[in-house]
Amino acid sequence: MGTDTQWGDVDSYLVAETVHEDDALVAARASAREHGLPPIEVAPNQGAFLSLLARMCGARRVLEVGTLAGYSSIWLARAVGPQGRVTTVERDPRHAKVARENHDRAGVSERVDVEVGPALDVLARLVDDGAAPYDLVFIDADKANMPAYLDLAMRLVRSGSVIVGDNVVRRGAVVDPDSPDADVQGVRAFLHALGSDPRLEATALQTVGSKGWDGFAVARVR
CATH code of the domain containing 126: 3.40.50.150
pLDDT tens-digit map of 82-122: 999 999 999 999 999 999 999 999 999 999 999 999 999 99
State the pLDDT at residue 1: 60
Q: What rounded mean pLDDT belongs to the chain?
A: 97
pLDDT tens-digit map of 149-182: 999 999 999 999 999 999 999 999 999 999 999 9
Q: Which percentage of the chain shows pLDDT scores above 90?
A: 97
State the pLDDT at residue 4: 84
CB 168 within 8 A of CB 216: yes
Parent domain of 204: 4-221
State the pLDDT at residue 2: 74
State the pLDDT at residue 102: 98
Structural domain count, the chain: 1
